[in-house]
Structure 1
């Protein structure tokens, strides 16, 4: 058995982001500050790890057309979400306080296409692809049905409240545990024949 740490590290970093987001909002105001910056950096790290996770799932699915389209959609979603979080960090550094962040975000989102691609539709691609990949794995019976159910809950919880991101991240860790610890079914290559 080979451990694939990205499957657990990605939701763990998302959990760090979610917890720091809640901590940052205790006073009713989010950002700027250390919790804002560290939380966003943690989620950016999670996104980088999700590239490896998506690529691994794509390989498990046999790299067919549907899996490849889903991978490309997911990578686009990761890229848009990464840009969003990078913008958030830059705005956090530029703003003296929370009130000063609003006009800076308005300037960024006034650029044609940014609001739609970076803040609205783009990031949804990341979550849709994540769910589609695990559903595809369940259809192929490579994971049990509860895996996509937990991933669906993880995807939907932030729509109810962004303060539920830590709960969703824990669900993702549980969902991805079988993928992180699965047996590698590829045949062993003998050194004598290599």
Structure 2
């Protein structure tokens, strides 16, 4: 698979991996160490990393034919999104290590308290940092819609997806499905010249 093909596939694979994490989490009643915990967090890790080419592709669509201001805005949004990717990646890595190191859920809780008690650790990787993932995504997709590179309904679906996932971790599969709906068809556009909005709507659903 070529680099460009992989980048296009990420628009569907990223949300799909997030949805897989959400589904595994639902069947893991203990939320503790074991295969479900490890597989779920590996899916989360893969899904988040796959959003790197998604962010890059959205940035390309948002700046085609635009001036320095648009490039600056999209570049800033990309940077925020990548910081969010880094934060969630670290969080998923910590969760995997804790799950491997602890014998039971009580042991995991003890390790989490110790780790999150480190100054700066909780905001960087558990509260503020991960939010930047969604901020970057929302800014990039809104800008893409504003320059008519994508349909106006797609940002609304992404906003709904973020709101659903923020409402509760059990709703991650629903949010991931909404992200898949909004993002999956955009992969083939990310590496091709932009078309007027009317042409895009005629060619894509």
Same structural fold, with TM-score higher than 0.5 when normalized by the shorter chain: yes
- Structure 1 window deviating more from structure 2 (171-180 vs 15-24): it is 171-180
Secondary structure of the 1:163 match is: helix
Structure 1 equivalent of residue 92 of structure 2: 85
Q: Deviations over 1:7-33 (max 9, x none)?
A: 0000000011000000112xxx21211
Q: Is 1:185 aligned to residue 193 of structure 2? A: yes
Unaligned runs of 5+ in 1: 187-194
Q: Is 1:145 aligned to residue 152 of structure 2? A: yes
Which of 114, 122, 126 pairs up with 1:115? Answer: 122
Structure 1 equivalent of residue 40 of structure 2: 39
Secondary structure of the 2:155 match is: helix
Which of 152, 155, 164 pairs up with 1:157? Answer: 164
TM-score (norm 2): 0.85
Q: CA deviation at 1:47?
A: 1.3
Unaligned runs of 5+ in 2: 64-69, 195-205
Which of 56, 76, 86 pairs up with 2:83? Answer: 76
Secondary structure of the 1:5 match is: helix
Query: Given that residues 15 and 176 in structure 2 are in contact (C-alpha distance below 8 angstroms), is that contact kept between their aligned partners in structure 1?
Result: yes
Secondary structure of the 2:32 match is: coil
Secondary structure of the 2:40 match is: helix
Q: CA deviation at 1:102?
A: 0.7
Q: Deviations over 1:26-63 (max 9, x none)?
A: xxx21211111111011111111100110111122227
- Alignment partners' CA distance in 1, 2:150 and 2:161: 17
Segments of 4+ moved more than 3 angstroms = none
Q: Counting helix residues as a fraction of each chain, which structure ranks higher? A: 2
Q: Is 1:24 aligned to residue 25 of structure 2? A: no
Query: Given that residues 143 and 178 in structure 1 are in contact (C-alpha distance below 8 angstroms), is that contact kept between their aligned partners in structure 2?
Result: no
